[in-house]
A and B are shown apart, each in its own frame.
Chain A
């Protein structure tokens, strides 16, 4: 089928299937899924600039569906989401400026590739360590208590002592987040969001792979709420990104609309599935995602191909 805005011939079934897969991942983990969607669109023969811009537009639609579903399940902290959006947009702008600076220096591809590999591998390694340790501890305590029902739904973390120490920093203004059961300095929220935005602007995509774990480990937000709130925040930041790319002529909205048809089903399925898993299990299942991102970057670095 011919899409006149990007001048590309792509099967709508392929787009629907890609949307579905990314929808499931997004609904379950609270990530945009751009590390898969971008290469998948590129693989279909869409120009790289259109792949990036169109993917952002599709992320907006998918996040609306998944966030609505998570909101119905009580997994969205709107107050936190709005504060996060402010920091994310500022960080994304800074990331874009950094890209321009490295572009002028002539080593942007190498720097972005190395930084992204280090970040992806670090996140995976840390989350693997933390979630395995937490699950092991839960297993021991459930054996001791002989009641798995008490610990199965608990959102425990082996990193909790650090999170608690961060929450004790009383730098005004302090923000109360009743939905998440956390009171924390606004500056810490903005800093976490800014770092997420910086990764988004510098490495591309929505950077859910860094924001969702940061919300859990730094802010102390329960995993289910971190997933839902991240999706809500992505609606705002990805809309901003879509507008920015659209005015540069990088968005084929017809492709995004077709992808969103598959994503609508996938995102609901992913969001509903979170109800059946405890926080540490969701975090453990998250571990392969940054590794896939790292594998794609390593492949493009050594083969010279842009997936």
Chain B
């Protein structure tokens, strides 16, 4: 009867483990309950590294009675569903919650989940933020639900060695002068492709170019100012679409999907010479390219002016028990000095003009990217942007209707006309509230 003895042993093990269950779980009560008079804990939810460790300590020191707990999940893909679950269940979210631009736009359609920061007196803070960043934190009805943290100002990252092979200039100022407009960018691409450098395409994909174009071409995109879907009639959308279709037609792309294996590997193998890069992308390019390619990349201006990809806001969910204190904390973290502090700790590109003018920021260079003065390049780009009105489901329409349609054309599965029709159909579906 070996089994019975073994079962006995297992019982002991299980009981011991049961005992540990209690021991191992964190004592939530002790953390959040006001143990001593007036002591409160504010939980900050974010993803990745917002650079708030030192700032939290500083805030605790200057606000006795307040404890700041930073909770962070590293991957944005993991962050969003859990946040949604907290909001859906009405419990679990932190007092200050970071929202990335894609999430923010969708959550703006349900503003009742977030404290209107205008009610807390946030109106006075407008001058602390780039105008377009400030506007994006507001809902269609004018409620302010988010204070800007960082932005994802766009630049172009390019491979100097491939440019040299194709007989193109390699100096970053001369490269920027190659493409004041998208037509000239496409012409450069054709020249590059004709030189047969061994690269698959001039630029990695069409989707990021499409994002930049949308931002540059007009003050509205898929939605008009009243929040109506106008993806089929807005000339901004059509013009941007036509430009990227021309890029496909002239065969200057490597036909890669951003974040795919081929795309990641393409940085190392040199399957494209140019990619649209927001500031936060520099680390990704460095990792994907590897130490062997150090000094081959450089940073130049985006065709047609600036653009933005990514960036976040801090919000206060209505389920927070301490909305007033949470707002004060969010205000501190997004203030110009807070943004400089975060930048020094983790490097996100500030959304505050004062922070962008900070000498520490302006002096920033990146040695992997041939010592490019990235602080000045990205800061100038971010400050030049004009506000754009993005509709409630902007991100969904762009990423889940238009981008697959464009990629289907690149794959040769659809003609541009069929793809346009599919994008419109899917846009209607995505825009449904």
Q: Do A and B truly interact?
A: no
